[in-house]
Amino acid sequence: MPDLLRWMEDHDKLSGWAQAIGAVLALVIAIMIPAWQRMAERRDRRVEAAALDAVMVGALFHVMLDAESYAHSALLQADRPASEISVDEIGATDLLARILQLEERERDFLRSTIEGKCRSVVLKSMKLIKVASVRGKPPLQMEIGSINNEIVWLNRDRERVLFEMDRANRYETISRFPGLVRFVWHLIWWGKWKRWLKANPVPRSSKFPESK
């Protein structure tokens, strides 16, 4: 111990270096702590957004199923005699309200388009039943064909939403990882998306596909 004290007395300039190093370390810590806090906040927001996206895609999938079910029910109702037709306005109103809630919070353009298709098929189906009950005879083939075409498009879009739902559920976990991991994950899913589009081409024609 005396030797150490004697050595420190002989090297009195070390105290200045120690103070300088301490000041640098304090500065680094002062910078790193707020930066780490900001990174944690960004990660939390990213995770929250990923969770919300997964919920939105799942809700859209169920809305599509309900809209398609309502359309099929409308087609069955329209074939009945006018006295036996019952218009499920409560179910349609509830379904339209759910679609509106999705549209108000949706940030994805393609999913917004699908939500618009769901609203369209519900409104057309409700109109078909009402007109058939007032008219007292089955609807025209053109009216039935229009709804059938809407159903065909919903079936095609449902496959895409299933893919999106799988991606969103997986990204909800990946969103917690560092940027490099997320970047690689996005590259992998971008390749999967390209292969999926190639296997499920979207028709370029603006006309509805022929219903089977």
How far is the C-alpha of 166 from the C-alpha of 209, rounded, in Å? Answer: 27
Number of separate domains in the chain? 1
SS3 175: coil
- 127 inside domain: yes
- 11 inside domain: no
- 1 inside domain: no
| Structural domain for 67, as ranges | 53-212
- 38 inside domain: no
- 201 inside domain: yes
- 108 inside domain: yes
Residue position matching structure tokens 């005879």: 137
pLDDT tens for the chain, 212 residues long, are 566 556 555 655 666 666 777 778 888 788 888 877 888 888 888 888 888 888 888 888 888 888 888 888 888 777 777 677 777 788 888 989 999 988 888 878 888 888 888 888 888 888 888 877 777 666 667 777 888 888 888 888 888 888 888 888 888 888 888 888 888 888 888 888 878 777 766 554 444 444 43
- 44 inside domain: no
- 10 inside domain: no
